[in-house]
Structure 1
């Protein structure tokens, strides 16, 4: 059973408004003007598998907002104005497999926010304002296979950043502010098939040795090498990472 309310200029959803639709599987609420989510809105939707809320006016995700949706597998929140996410925003979503937060205004995500979604396979955080990504952010996501972090403001990744998500096959980090990545962090992803690293301001000095070494050994498909260019130091500027040797990567004394 599907209910399509796409593009109706809805600004507010009534509390318990769907409680008699116990067999509803798909609820489409995209391209409206919804500003607030409350758990009481979704009471009764225990069989809902797909909730689409893109292109609305949500600015925050409150605690327990989706808690009644115990069977939900797909949650699309792209193209909203989300800035704040409660650490308990996704409580109850133990069956969720796909979460889309593309094109919001998210700057940080509290530790443990994603932990309730232990069956999540795909997480999209493209086009936000994230500056920091840590290992604790992904704690509990042992089944995650695809992680998209394109076009954020990430400047650094800890060496252990991927330790909780070893099953990643697709990793997108293009369009950030990364100057280097420790190759050991990527070595934690033995299942990696596709990795996108282009459009970052790579600083090709001695700190890049482990990454260049990893690039020479990995079987993963990489974003076009012509877009993987060094921005510094002067002797390596405009060189692509695939032509660099470890001996080319030096730091000033």
Structure 2
């Protein structure tokens, strides 16, 4: 009898202790969405496992700076809950086992950011058919295994940024037919394999920035016919195969800045009939092959900033009938070729050729081929004064901004001319014109005076 009383007393004391710990670690408040939120700070797995929380009215659970380590089917003792939002940020999670969230069948958003997750069971998200967003960013995932997210049938957004992913197995994204936003930036991918995104027919945005991607398989983007934006900035891509992006017929925005591309291959972008923005800045481009931009029927902005181009022929963009802006600044251009037979680029209104090595420019032919141009950025080149003055006068009469500074300020343009001593020549020309005019006027006066003297002398002779 005494042993039984002792055991019961121990259990009661243990539960009271847990309740006290729970009261200290967890609190409820009104969530940002207006409902009830349970917040636990510095809690451990045992605290969550051994407390029967009543969460029938709670739709948001947050664990701040907790020590959870491993999540499994017994971690959350939430027998009755209506939790929609689960935030387990910075909670030292390393492993998530199968059925870890099985007791939270109403979940919509799962945020597991900033942990150390390296082991993710394929059944971790079992029965989470209502979940639309999963954030696994800032973790330690290395391989995305087959069927890893297959239970998340209604997932709209998957954030895998800032992991160490170097390999994606062929069926890693199986079951994610409704996914629209995929973030895979700041990982260690070196190659995009063929058909790697084949299970994502409704994907709209794909972020692959800051990886180590060197090559892209010809069929890497197969079945992504609805993709609108593809971001591949800050990788090591050195070559694009012909028709690399052909399946992406809905793509609007393609960014390939800061890679190692050395040339634009023939038909490299063919098939991107709806593309409006192409960013190729800060590569090592030296050559644009003939028909390099063919097929870009709706392109509006072309960024070629910060490459190694020494020569650029405007015939490269002749087929881009809707091109609005062409950025060629910060290259090594010494020649901008304009063929007299070139079809006018009637949609082009902004041209950037600043920060190059240009000394000559057929600006009248340029205007002839760009009749609707509004801004031409020419600063930081090697123009001589005569050409600079002629261009300024020519475009000023046409109400076209010839920008000699970054912000295209007219006052700064004046200062540029002054700093380059072009204003001295302007003043000398004006002075010469004034001198000539004064000389003509004085000569005219002398002539008139001489005529008068002759007439007076004639009259005197008559009277004599």
TM superposition score category, shorter chain reference:
0.7 to 0.9
Contact 1:102 1:128 in 2 (8 A): yes
Shift of the alpha carbon at 1:184?
A: 1.9
Alignment correspondent of 1:188: 319
Q: Deviation digits for residues 81-129 of structure 1, max 9, x if unmatched?
A: 0012111111111111111110000000121221111111111111000
Is 1:23 the counterpart of 2:23 in the alignment?
no
Is 1:227 the counterpart of 2:227 in the alignment?
no
Q: Deviation digits for residues 197-249 of structure 1, max 9, x if unmatched?
A: 11111123xx62449x99998742233x54344289xxxx7229x9498xxxx
Is 1:239 the counterpart of 2:383 in the alignment?
yes
What pairs up with 1:126-145 in 2 under 5 angstroms? Answer: 126-145=257-276
Alignment correspondent of 1:73: 204
Any gaps of 5 or more consecutive residues in structure 1? 246-253
Indicate the larger mover: 214-223 or 154-163. Answer: 214-223
Is 1:203 the counterpart of 2:334 in the alignment?
yes
| Distance in 1 between residues matched to 2:316 and 2:198, nearest whole Å | 34
Query: Which has the larger Rg?
Result: 2
Indicate the larger mover: 84-93 or 74-83. Answer: 84-93
| Distance in 1 between residues matched to 2:241 and 2:178, nearest whole Å | 29
Any gaps of 5 or more consecutive residues in structure 2? 1-131, 361-380, 392-464
Query: Which of these residues, 292, 298, 301, is aligned with residue 161 of structure 1?
Result: 292
Alignment correspondent of 2:105: none
Q: 1:202–1:210: structure 2 CA closer, same or farther, 3 Å change rule? A: farther
Aligned pair count reads 236
| Distance in 2 between residues matched to 1:21 and 1:102, nearest whole Å | 29
| Distance in 1 between residues matched to 2:290 and 2:144, nearest whole Å | 44
Higher helix share: 2
Secondary structure of the structure 2 residue equivalent to 1:222: strand
Alignment correspondent of 1:103: 234
Contact 2:150 2:176 in 1 (8 A): yes
Contact 1:201 1:231 in 2 (8 A): no
Secondary structure of the structure 2 residue equivalent to 1:153: coil
Q: Deviation digits for residues 11-43 of structure 1, max 9, x if unmatched?
A: 122320110101000000001100012231000
Q: 1:121–1:188: structure 2 CA closer, same or farther, 3 Å change rule? A: same
Secondary structure of the structure 2 residue equivalent to 1:22: coil
Alignment correspondent of 2:246: 115
Give TM-score, length-normalised by structure 2: 0.48
Shift of the alpha carbon at 1:57?
A: 0.4
Alignment correspondent of 2:47: none
| Distance in 2 between residues matched to 1:84 and 1:163, nearest whole Å | 22
Contact 2:134 2:158 in 1 (8 A): yes
Q: Deviation digits for residues 125-166 of structure 1, max 9, x if unmatched?
A: 110000111241111111111000001111111342222102
Q: 1:217–1:68: structure 2 CA closer, same or farther, 3 Å change rule? A: closer
| Distance in 1 between residues matched to 2:354 and 2:311, nearest whole Å | 17
Runs of 4+ aligned residues of structure 1 deviating over 6 Å after TM superposition are: 213-218
Alignment correspondent of 2:217: 86
Shift of the alpha carbon at 1:187?
A: 2.7
